[in-house]
Chains A and B, each alone.
Chain A
Amino acid sequence: MIHPQPTSAIAALACLTLSACTVHGENPHLAAMESELSKPVTVINKFGRSVTGRIDRFSETQFTLTAPADAGEVIYTYGRGDDAQLHFPGNDYKLLALDLLDDGHEAVAIPVLRALFAQRSPYLDFLPEKEAVFFARLADAYLGQGKPIDAVATARRLAPHIKTTSVKRKLRDIVLLAHYRLKLQEETRQLAGAWIKTAPRFHDSALGWWVLAQLEFEAENFEAALWNALRPIVFAGPMPMAYRQHCYAVCISSYRALNDDENAQTLTNEMNALDLEWPDIPSLHDWRQN
């Protein structure tokens, strides 16, 4: 079993990825992690008494824990309102996963996160919100690694358990982007439309506008693309805005497609003055000019 510390994340990363560690198709470190995660859970009730055992049954409102007793087993039932804290083994792996993500090793972090998610996601109803918030990183990592279906599935699984506005927005963004990457145009349009409907005039993200503009651009509806992408540019304000450069790129490309070089140049100058990079979007590559 490994006992990873945050500082040894890179070493752990090596262990998880090196094929030399693999015996008969199994990675012994992953196997050790799964073994650790499958250990009994501990429940501390509101009086501070702790019980360790295995969860046998659960529903949305309650779960039962079977704990060994002197002569056999005792079954405890906990309801959602019982104020009992549920503790899973393997919290060190959470730290490992965060370290890996922060170091940019999404692909390696995913198996760790996935194992943790498998361990805990059935019991999200009984876990504090921060657990669900933590797993938003898994949805994000899936998207980053080109697995939009997994990203949507994870985000939708988590969404009912999130109350924090910023995380709710993050999950909504993941679902929207995943649909766009899956080329589900109608669904993407609907999601982008819903995104826009709730966005304030001055916002810190242009995602919904960009996605809609991008769809229009790809359908060669340049005028419509322009109107959608211009909106966040107009109301960007002085603070940073996510996907602002994407909107600039769509606008500049659309203006060029409409033979309006003057406005294309104005926006290009503005984009340069703002130190915004041209985004890596295949359909816009050919429209980039310096």
Chain B
Amino acid sequence: MLWLNMVLFLTASMGAPTGLPVQDTFHTLLQRGVRAFSSGDYEGAVKHFRALQDTFGEEPEYAQASIQQLLLPLRGYAHLQTDLPGEAEADFMEFLERFSGEARQRAFVLFNLGRTLRESGKLGEASDIYGQFVLEFPGKPETALAVMRRADLLLKLGETDSGLALLRELYNSKVSYLLRVQARLRALQAAIDNNRTDAASEILLQSPWNLDTMPELAALAFAALRLGDSLAGLEEYGEAVRCYRLVPPKVILVSMQERRLNEIRAAAKRHEALAVDSSGALWVEYYAQLTAGIETRLDALQAAGDYTPGFLLRYGQALLLAAREREAWIVFESLALDDGVPVVERTEAHYRWILAAHALKFWDDALHIARDFIDRYPDSVLAPQALFLIAKAYQEERDYPQAIELLTELLDRFPEHGMVSRWIFTRGYCSLLDERHTEARADLGIYLDRFHDGKLRVNAQLWHALSWFFEKNYDTALLELTNLATVAQNHPLLPEIEYRVAATHYSGRNYDDALTQIDDWLDLYPGHEREPEALVLKGDILMGRGELRVAAEAFARVTPDARRLFPYAIFQTGKIYRALEDYEKMSAHFQYYVEREDIADKPRVSEALYWIGWTHDRIGFPEKALPVFTDALAAYGNWPEANEIQLILTTLHQLHNKLRLKSSGEAISDISLSQKPDFETWVRTERQTALDAGELTYYARLTTFLAGLQERQNRADEADTLLLEMVEKVPPAELGPEGLSRAGEVMEKFGFPSAREYYERLVEEFPKAPQRAYAYYGLARMEIAHGQFSEARPLLNKLIDEMPAHPLGTEGALLYGQTLVALDETEEAVQVYENLLRRRSARGRPHAEALQGLAQAHRALDHPAKAIAYYQRLYTLYRAYPDLVADAYLQSARLFEQTGDPRAAYQSLRELLDAPELSLYEAAATARMEIERLAPPSSTAASPKP
């Protein structure tokens, strides 16, 4: 310190009077005090200064202003350094009262007075003194230190805004980096301590931290961690992630902080060496404080456990909730597979890894990770939740039976778990989606009975009601829905419930109530997300009532925003014009749809084109229709989504014939199709062109059409060859529903197991296509061929339930009946056959087969009389089907014999053998053998029993 050297110089120059003992002189004592002070021996300095005062305090020499001006700051500082703040304060105050002082001396006194007052707990006064320092010495390097001290005091005094403002000013100023970064860190900590989360975020994240030189790394890391936690608590996950990214793992933080501490110590030493003036002491103190703070924090950090796994879990969770699922996955996976991580955190991470996979909808992965979790931690408290997540993954993959099985396992293993209600509900819901309505209702019923406060009560009631709807039991569904609507008045699902009421009225053909309900609904919930559905429903209701033009108005209100419902409304409107025989309007309507350019994704254009062509033909301009169809084929023939290509080809075929007749075999206008002598030749040429151009979907469509032509001409072999060619040339992914069904059929016919691939693809890729009936039927047939009746059952059930009017519906029902008999569910089989007999569309052979099925069912039920009656109906009414008739005679004969009526048995066989048209059947051959062991009737032939 410069002024300290001056003191030494002055005291030395005054000299000691010659001949006096050195220790007794004023100057010697003063010199000793000063020397002790300058060597950092503050206790010695205090002792000597006290001796000086005790010995010479009353002397005028001691009272000299020049001596006191030099002595008071030294003594005050020595008092301060020896924990005597009261004395220090007195010295500094006396100095300030008596002397204005030399600038550096005054700065020293003011700064240390501030420190003294602070250490005495006089925070307000200390703050004022530091403020005075700043005012008096604005440009000094240590002014920044004073600002920081003042800010600290203000924060301690609860004057948070003022304290933060000072720190903000400081870290935005041009003072040294070290002070700026410390001010920023202090401001950050203060903002966090005072729950000023926004301010803390701004301070932490507004600009990058220069961590290469940042001294208090640990303090920053923990501030970032705390702030990250606070932000996560406030659901500001994106910002939380940014905070967590400033937190290094413990091992790196410790090593970085140690290195930085050594650098700070070296810097402190440099300042000590340079401490030749008053400000040097301030910096030495500053570095001492800084170093002590870092050391304390580092010691605590090293002594504490590793925060890293817990921090990473929170970081991963913030990523997950910030919709950054892949990053969350990476964090959780990394922890879950790290054997060095404690098992508790590892287990938690593994579980959350499943959640990340779920959030990404990577169901396969979710299943795999969750299965791995169960294998690793079968006894974990998270195991039930993990199993539940697996079940949810199965549900999302539409593997409902697996989901149900897993949920059942959960309910069996953990019947007291807190999530039982959720599991029961989910199982019921899965059953519903799997069309197991009875089971669904059972679970939903249990949920409603057991969990009166369950959060999903209304949902459960709604699904319960809808299970009846799906079973077409509209009365019960309506009853439950209307009851639910009255009790769920404030529930968010109320609009859904009321919409379903209208839909149920409609499905039950109660159009009046349906219309009232849907009109009310549209008034009550304008802009609701169900509004497009409601408008479409209203259109359908009005169509049901025969109010076609009003219905068209309802459909016209459906806009392209309604996505899939928009084309539905368009085609319903087309249907209305067709019913009204307003073909001009119908044509214009579809033309407008085709030409609209404001619809990004416009489906069913080929279908619209078909109808445009169709109307041209209807209006009497078939030549106009021809180019519309050929253009549609050229544009959409190779589009897998275009559903009407077969229909267009069929119509084109008819049109071609009509035009050829009309023009007496001459070329029709100038279109290429007209130049072909027959349609089949044109199709073959078109097919080859498509193949050459690599348009495999179109090639396949033309092939299936051509195969159909061959079949109608009884050239089944030729048809099979064409279809096998198609299978060879076109990969399944390029086939539409028609191609897949025909490929499946031909492969099944020739016994190729890969038929299954085509059928399954058809069901998966085209779940709404009517051709899926062939897949259900074909797959069921393949299962039955292997004796897997229980596997065949749901397939046939779907066929009958989803497409009762499909041509395969009848065959499906017959096969379903047989399956039920094989599964010992004969009563249900009887129902199936009886329903079939009521169906007029199944007249002829299907009815005969239904009778045969009924007879077999009653035989299985041990009702021989009923069985015989059905056989008798068969061979009486359905003589056109001799194979069935022959079998019916044989079987009824056996039943007669079995019931102790050999005469009737003999008579039945006799009738079989007497009918020449039955003689070629195997039953006749069997009858010839069996009749021999039956006694011939002794008298005239008895009539068969009724």
Tell me how far the C-beta of A216 lies from the nearest C-beta in chain B, rounded to whole angstroms.
14
B242 / chain A contacts, CB cutoff of 8 Å: 270, 273
Q: Within the complex, what minimum Cβ distance (angstroms) separates B673 from chain A?
A: 41
**Which of B252, B324, B331, B334 lies in contact with A239, CB distance below 8 A?**
B252
Q: Are B256 and A239 in contact (CB under 8 A)?
A: yes
Let me know if A202 and B327 touch, CB within 8 A. Answer: no
Knowing A202-B252, A266-B238, A266-B324 are in contact, say whether A238-B330 is a contact too (CB < 8 A).
Answer: no
In the complex, whether B877 has a CB less than 8 A from a CB of chain A is no
Tell me if A274 and B238 are in contact (CB < 8 A). Answer: no
- Select from chain B the residue with minimum beta-carbon distance to A238: B246
Give Cα distance in the complex from A148 to B205, angstroms. Answer: 40
Is A230 touching B327 in the complex (CB atoms < 8 A)? yes
Residues of A with C-beta under 8 A to B249? 201-202, 237
Least CB distance, B498 to chain A, in whole angstroms: 35
Please name the residue on chain B nearest to A276 by beta carbon: B208
Known: A239-B256, A270-B242, A273-B205. A234 touches B211 (CB 8 A): no
Chain A proximity of B206: nearest CB distance (Å): 9
Who on chain A is nearest to B212 by CB?
A: A240
Task: Select the residue from B252, B326, B334 with max chain A CB neighbours within 10 A.
Answer: B326
Q: Cβ of A201: which chain B residues have Cβ within 8 Å of it?
A: 249, 334, 338
B209 interface hit (Cβ, 8 Å)? yes
Let me know if A234 and B331 touch, CB within 8 A.
Answer: yes
Q: Are A230 and B330 in contact (CB under 8 A)?
A: yes
A204 CA to B245 CA in the complex, in Å? 14
Report if B406 contacts A (CB, 8 A). Answer: no
In the complex, 11 of the A-B residue pairs with CB atoms within 8 angstroms, ordered by the A residue number, are: A202-B249, A202-B252, A226-B326, A234-B330, A235-B331, A237-B248, A237-B252, A238-B211, A266-B324, A273-B242, A275-B208
Q: State whether the Cβ of B247 lies closer than 8 Å to any Cβ in chain A.
A: yes
In the complex, chain B residues whose CB is within 8 Å of the CB of A231: 330
A236 pairs with B245, CB closer than 8 A: yes
Inter-chain CA distance A55–B304, complex, in Å, is 60
Q: Contacts of A230 on B, CB cut-off 8 Å?
A: 326-327, 330
Q: Is A238 in contact with B248, judged by CB distance below 8 angstroms? A: yes
Please report the C-alpha to C-alpha distance between residue A233 and residue B238 in the assembled complex, in whole angstroms: 15
A239 near B248 with CB under 8 A, answer yes
For B248, the chain A residues whose CB sits under 8 A away are 202, 237-239
| Pair A237/B238 contact, Cβ less than 8 Å | no
A227 to B326, CA, bound (A): 7
Check B245 against A237 for contact (C-beta < 8 Å).
Answer: yes
Identity of the chain B residue whose Cβ is nearest the Cβ of A204 in the assembled complex: B252
Residues of B whose CB lies within 8 Å of any CB of A are 205, 208-209, 211-212, 220-221, 224, 238, 242, 245-249, 252, 256, 319, 323-324, 326-327, 330-331, 334, 338
- Whether A221 is near chain B, meaning CB under 8 Å from some CB there, is no
Bound together, the chains give a CA A93 to CA B593 distance in angstroms of 81
Report the minimal beta-carbon distance from A277 to chain B, rounded to whole angstroms: 13
Q: Which residues of B contact A266 (CB under 8 A)?
A: 238, 324
A235 CA / B248 CA spacing, docked (Å): 9
Q: Hey, which chain B residues are within 8 Å of A273, CB to CB? A: 205, 208, 242
Mark out the residues of chain A between 220 and 259 whose CB falls within 8 Å of any chain B CB in the assembled complex. Answer: 226-227, 230-231, 233-240
Nearest Cβ on chain B to A16's Cβ, whole angstroms: 35
Q: Is the CB of A263 within 8 A of B252?
A: no
Residues of A within 8 A of B (CB): 201-202, 226-227, 230-231, 233-240, 262-263, 266, 270, 273-275
**Assembly CA distance A235 to B242 (angstroms):** 12
Q: B247 and A237: CB pair below 8 A?
A: yes
Given contacts A201-B338, A237-B252, A238-B209, 17 further A-B contacts (CB under 8 A): A202-B252, A227-B326, A227-B330, A235-B330, A235-B334, A237-B249, A238-B220, A238-B221, A238-B245, A238-B246, A239-B248, A239-B252, A262-B323, A263-B323, A266-B238, A266-B324, A270-B242
B contact residues around A262 at 8 Å (CB):
323
B330 A239 Cβ-Cβ under 8 A: no
- The answer for the CA separation of A201 and B334 in the assembled complex, in Å, is 8
How many Å from the CB of B279 to the closest CB on chain A?
33
- What residues on A are CB-neighbors of B334 within 8 Å? 201, 235
Shortest C-beta distance, A182 to chain B (Å), equals: 30
- Complex CA distance for A270 and B394, rounded to whole angstroms: 36
Question: Which residues of A sit under 8 angstroms from B326, Cβ to Cβ?
Answer: 226-227, 230
Q: How distant is the Cα of A237 from the Cα of B238 in the complex, in angstroms? A: 16
Q: Which residues of A contact B224 (CB under 8 A)?
A: 238
Residues of A within 8 A of B212 (CB): 240
Q: How far is the CA of A240 from the CA of B213 in the complex (A)?
A: 12
From known contacts A201-B334, A202-B249, A273-B205, infer whether A239 and B211 are also in contact, taking CB-CB under 8 Å. yes
A235 to B330, CA, bound (A): 9
Contacts of A274 in B (CB 8 A): 208
Q: Of residues A230, A237, A273, which shows the largest number of chain B Cβ atoms within 10 Å of its Cβ?
A: A237
CA distance A275 to B220 in the complex (A): 20
For residue B330, which residues in chain A have a CB less than 8 angstroms away from its CB? 227, 230-231, 234-235
8 closest A-B pairs (Cβ-Cβ)?
Answer: A238-B246, A237-B248, A234-B330, A234-B327, A238-B211, A202-B249, A231-B330, A230-B326
**Which B residue's beta carbon lies closest to that of A236?**
B245
Determine the residue in chain A with the shortest Cβ distance to B322. Answer: A266
Docked pose: A203 CA to B211 CA in angstroms: 15
A239 to B247, CA, bound (A): 9
Q: Which residue of A lies closest to B315 (CB)?
A: A234
Minimal beta-carbon separation of B184 from chain A (angstroms): 14
Most A-side CB within 10 Å, residue of B208, B211, B245, B338: B245
Shortest A111–chain B CB gap in Å is: 35
Q: Within 8 Å CB of B209, what residues of A?
A: 238
Q: How far is the CB of A210 from chain B (nearest CB, A)?
A: 15
| Complex interface: chain A residues within 8 A of B205 (CB) | 273
CA distance A233 to B209 in the complex (A): 17
Q: Measured between C-beta atoms, what is the minimum distance from B726 to chain A in Å?
A: 31
In the complex the two chains form, is B247's CB within 8 Å of A238's CB? yes
Query: In the complex, what's the smallest C-beta–C-beta distance from B891 to chain A, in angstroms?
Result: 62
* Most chain B beta carbons < 10 A, residue from A231, A234, A236, A240: A234
Q: Which B residue sits closest to A231, measured CB to CB?
A: B330
Shortest distance from the beta carbon of B766 to any chain A beta carbon, whole Å: 25
CB distance from B320 to the nearest CB of A (A): 12
What residue in chain B is nearest A267 (Cβ atoms)?
Answer: B324
A165 to B: closest C-beta gap in Å: 14
> What is the CA–CA distance of A201 and B340 in the complex, to the nearest angstrom?
12
- Minimum distance in angstroms from A269 CB to a CB of chain B: 9
List, in ascending order, chain B residues with CB within 8 A of A227's CB.
326, 330
Q: Which residues of B contact A233 (CB under 8 A)?
A: 327
Cβ distance B925 to chain A, nearest Cβ, rounded Å: 66
Cα distance A124–B248 in the bound complex, in angstroms = 40
CB distance from B295 to the nearest CB of A (A): 21
A84–B221 CA distance with the chains assembled, in angstroms: 51
- What separation, in Å, do the CA atoms of A137 and B221 have in the docked complex? 36
Instruction: Give, as a whole number of angstroms, the nearest-CB distance from A19 to chain B.
Output: 43
Measured CA separation A240–B327 after assembly (Å): 19
The residue in chain B whose Cβ has the minimal distance to the Cβ of A201 is B334
In the assembly, what is the distance between CA of A135 and CA of B504, in Å?
Answer: 84
**Inside 8 A of A235's CB, which chain B residues have their CB?**
330-331, 334
CA distance A226 to B220 in the complex (A): 31
Distance in angstroms between the alpha carbons of A201 and B249 in the assembled complex: 10
Complex Cα distance, B833 from A105, in Å, reads 93
The smallest C-beta distance from B613 to any residue of chain A, in angstroms, reads 36
- Residues on A with beta carbons closer than 8 Å to the beta carbon of B238: 266
- In the complex, the chain A residue whose C-beta lies closest to that of B331 is A234
CB-defined contacts of A270 to chain B, threshold 8 Å: 242
Which residue of B208, B247, B324, B338 contacts A263 across the interface (Cβ within 8 Å)? B324
Shortest CB-to-CB span from B236 to chain A, Å, is 14
Q: How far is the CB of B86 from chain A (nearest CB, A)?
A: 45
Q: Which residues of B contact A236 (CB under 8 A)?
A: 245
- Chain B minimum-CB-distance residue to A223: B326
- State the CA gap A235–B319 with chains docked (Å): 12
Q: Give bound CA distance, A239 to B326, whole Å.
A: 22
Residues of A within 8 A of B220 (CB): 238
Question: How distant is the Cα of A234 from the Cα of B220 in the complex, in angstroms?
Answer: 19
